[in-house]
Structure 1
Amino acid sequence: MMGHQGGVQNQLFYSFNLADHVPRTHLLGGIDRYFDLSGLREHLAPHYSHTGRPSIDPELMIRMLIVGYCFGIRSERRLCEEVHLNRAFRWFCGLGLEDAVPDHSTFSKNRHGRFRVSAALRHVFESVLRRCMDEGLVQGEGFAVDASVVKADANRASGVPGTEVIDWRHGNGPSRAVQEYLTALEQNNPTISDDDEFIATAKRISLTDPAARYTAAPGGPAFFAYSTNYLIDLHAGIIVDVEATPSHRTQEVESVLLQ
């Protein structure tokens, strides 16, 4: 006889453990066995007020960001939706079936505010690296650097030649973004009296994001971009440091010296 799914839930109370419904082979299960955020709250404590209502747990936000990284979820709004719906995600983040998921705007406020000022993500990175060292995954005998190009949020049509920026610098009124960029160059290079040569070597400068460099990908049009330069230990492919720079090969090499 054909079955029929009833539309009414007659049972009032349920005994349900999320951990029992997450396979042992799940990626997040392997991460959770070794992932330790015990020092995160102490690291962030000076950046929270001692009064007011309790904030969203920073460990919860870090774990949610790791979920997004592992499963390629780039949108914070979609990340919150996926954690709300997925049992394994909820378990990894320490959320029960009825616990509320933070609003997506919470991530933006903390990433650009408290996490940035306190270097919280760098703290998490270094704690994971220390665990890799303790487990013998980092030998320190051979290293390699690899750069990944990250497209900047800058319209390629908004760029102007570097020589034109030089003209603006000498009195023709640069935009606020360009003026801040030029000021930062002078502050970061106190031994260099004039950065005109550095700017003029750039084929184009973006008016909205002048720190990005104009680069070309094989088979595609040029665009403004940055590079994330990873220093990798060759034994097990563990990333031991990372440095973000404008997308330029010479700065990729220089970033190795900084790391």
Structure 2
Amino acid sequence: MRGEVRGQSSFSLVQPAQRVPQGHPIRRIKDLADAQLKGLSPVFDAMYSGTGRPGIPPEMLLKACLLIALYSVRSERQFCERLEYDLLFRFFLDMSLDEPSFDASSFAKNKQRLLDADVARRFFEGVVGQAKGQGLMSAEHFTVDGTLIEAWAGVKSFKKKGGKDEGPPDDKGNPTVNFHGEKRGNATHESTTDPESRLARKGGNGAKLSYSASVLMENRTGLVADITVELATGEAEWVGALRMLDRQKEKGLVPTTLGADAGYDVQRFVDATRERGVTPHVAQTRDVRRASRVDGRTTRHGGYALSQRARKRVEEIFGWMKTVGGFRKTRYRGQARTGLWAYFVAAAYNLTRMARLMPA
């Protein structure tokens, strides 16, 4: 029998939570995120004044950032538009059906407040602490690797420092620029759009204005133990790796081994790692012009081969962050804001993994 179109009801008692399947992983991710945000409540109290008109709860803004990374939302404006009709988003943010969506400008207005209170780092470290509490992270074997994150600036904005204004462009949106015969470098040029970005390239790809992001991965479960964003210089990956090792030491954690690819097979990095009490399980370079800085005293042990197999999983993190998390290109200008978003994307990745690894 053919059914009839009954039209939409003007009144309903159904809540967003009833439309999200009970076995959906977003429910476990929500529980983990809510538990961590509850612990940050004293930090949120210090961020806001005790008087004035109430603003959007910071917990809602932080969970909105997680949804942007989890569901590959292109922009904050698109997220606010989708929030009007997506029941799963409303469930995750604890919003009722009749509650109006907030404006995209709320993200920009609260960005500096989040930076000043270092909320993104605190939230990420809290998620890592939850993973440790569930026995999902060890304190022995780790891997480090780096990648380039394209800056929110085009190569046409990369101009000579202190150069004279050439007058109004022929096209404000896409001006005609001729760089033929001009030698450009970070020492003499900088971007007028994002001065902190650096012209860099990796592998056989062309040079782009970028930042360098480094990840410290726990080998057993592949979770992100730490992440940092550095200026894209020639030593950014080594500097970022050592910075993350020092941060682990401040927490009372000294890894036993640190796996890495051949790009880290340099004397200064290997020596600095050993000075910190960590055995560098670095892949040996195949460059015939110089010998590897890691010899048989390290490579003869079975753990070295295990580290070399496990270190390849760090590429899964970069793959997820750049495709699903939308971190192939930064959404913001400046190292600080790019680092803030890196913490959110890394936290989203960890929460996704934890939802699958934790027992039912």
TM-score, with structure 1 as normaliser: 0.77
Match of 1:26 among 1, 10, 24: 24
Counterpart pick for 1:244 among 226, 229, 236: 229
Deviation by residue 1:69-122 (Cα, 9 ceiling, x = unmatched): 1011130011112222111111111011111221111011111x2111111111
State the one-letter code of the partner of 1:19: A
Shift of 1:240: 1.3
Q: CA contact under 8 A between 1:64 and 1:83: conserved in structure 2?
A: no
> Size of the alignment, in residue pairs?
223
Q: Is the 8 A contact 2:200 2:210 kept in 1?
A: yes
Cα displacement (A) at 1:150: 1.4
- The answer as to whether partners of 1:214 and 1:224 remain within 8 angstroms in 2 is yes
C-alpha deviation, 1:220, in angstroms: 4.4
The equivalent of 2:279 in structure 1 is none
- Pair 1:49 & 2:49 matched: yes
Distance 1:53 1:28 in 2: 32
Gaps of 5+ in 1: 174-199
Identify the residue that residue 215 of structure 2 maps to in structure 1. Answer: 230
Contact (CA 8 Å) 2:213, 2:228: kept in 1 or not? yes
**Of residues 227, 236, 242 in structure 2, which corresponds to 1:257?**
242
Shift of 1:153: 2.1
8 Å Cα contact 1:154/1:206 also seen in 2: no
CA shift digits 1:149-190 (9 cap, x unpaired): 211122213335xxx65xx6xxx89xxxxxxxxxxxxxxxxx
SS of 2:224's equivalent in the other structure is strand
2:15 to 14, 17, 38: 17
1:212 maps onto 2:197 in alignment: yes
AA partner of residue 71 (structure 2): F
SS state at 2:84 partner: helix
Distance of 2:120 and 2:75 partners within structure 1: 18
Deviation per residue, 1:178-226 (Å, 9 max, x gap): xxxxxxxxxxxxxxxxxxxxxx984663232332221235554321100
1:79 and 1:101, CA in 2 relative to 1: closer, same or farther beyond 3 A?
same
Any stretches of 5+ residues in structure 2 without a counterpart? 165-183, 245-360
User: Structure 2 matches for 1:48-127, cutoff 5 A?
Assistant: 48-111=48-111, 113-127=112-126
How far apart, in 2, do the equivalents of 1:91 and 1:63 lie?
A: 11
Letter in 2 for 1:29: R
Matched, 1:142 2:126: no
- What is the distance in 1 between the residues matched to 2:42 and 2:74? 28
What amino acid maps onto 2:21 in structure 1?
P
1:56 CA drift (Å): 0.7
Quick check: 1:83–1:90 contact (8 Å CA) kept in 2? yes
Task: Identify if the C-alpha distance between structure 1 residues 258 and 218 changes in structure 2 by more than 3 Å, giving closer, same or farther.
Answer: closer
Task: Indicate how the Cα distance of structure 1 residues 25 and 219 shifts in structure 2: closer, same or farther if over 3 A, else same.
Answer: farther
TM-score relative to the length of structure 2:
0.57
Cα distance in 2 for partners of 1:217, 1:136 equals 36
State how far apart, in whole Å, the 1-side matches of 2:156 and 2:119 are. 35
Comparing both chains, which one has the higher relative contact order based on Cα–Cα distances under 8 Å and sequence gaps of 6 or more? 2
In 2, distance between residues paired with 1:32 and 1:117?
Answer: 25
